[in-house]
Amino acid sequence: MIAYRVDDLIEAGHTTQAALIVKELGENLEAWLMVIEKGFNIWAVRPEAGATEDLRPRLMEGLKRLDARIEETLNRASEEEISDQESRNFYRLLGGFRGVTQAAVAYAEVAGKIDWEEWREERF
């Protein structure tokens, strides 16, 4: 699920985004990326690691802040600054972030319950 959600996010990132929104959200996006990257780095080495205690709340709080910041920016901007298509594209991008976040949280919740030794066992 994580791989599909990351693909969706990458695809959404290739659409035309309003420079104003990207500029306004830079810090929030970087904070989200740092949290998700930390989880991915841990899972790359130890897939059984599950979640750190603060992963879910930090990711969900980051999404709330991102959502609020987008609404604020779109409400403040004039139609000349952000077209309808750019607004739709950015909401699609936000959906990509939300999808990756939800998939990461779901993985973290079940990773500790998987019998990783059996998965690593050679069967041939």
For 42-98, write each residue's pLDDT tens digit. 888 888 776 666 777 877 787 788 778 777 877 777 666 777 787 788 778 888 888
- Residue 119 resides in a domain: no
- Residue 122 resides in a domain: no
- Residue 28 resides in a domain: yes
- Indicate the number of domains in the chain: 1
- Residue 124 resides in a domain: no
pTM: 0.74
Find the domain containing 53 and state its range: 2-112
Q: 123: Cβ–Cβ under 8 A, 6 or more apart, which residues? A: none
What pLDDT shows up at residue 27? Answer: 79
Contact 103, 5 (CB under 8 A): yes
Residue that has been written with the tokens 């594209």 in this structure: 89
